[in-house]
Amino acid sequence: MTQSVSFRITRTAEDVAQAINALSQRLVKLEQRLESLELQVKQQQSSAEMPAEDLARLDDVDRLLLDCQSLLQSTVDADALPVDSGTEGFLGSADEDSEDFKAA
């Protein structure tokens, strides 16, 4: 009976040793994976910062867009103004000419 108890203890100790070994290997793999992910995050964070030249270019593009919008708005506002009586005859003749052109 002593031999069977000793065998079970030895067998259990071997199982525990194998489990500890497997867990240790898994822990090493997880630590390596964590290290790899941390490195990727650092690289993404460093690449997320834009160089000053790119920021300046984007600011210039933004300024140009705002200028274009203001020009378009001023054109729309100018079109909304009432037509002056002095230019009405000129515009009227241009419209008549275009109608004559279409008819021909």
CA distances from 85 to 37, 44, 92 (A): 74, 64, 10
pLDDT tens-digit profile of 7-19? 677 888 899 999 9
| pLDDT tier for residue 73 given thresholds of 50, 70 and 90 | confident
83 neighbors 91 (Cβ within 8 angstroms): yes
**For residue 42, what is the enclosing H or E element?**
helix 2-48
pTM above 0.75, yes or no: no
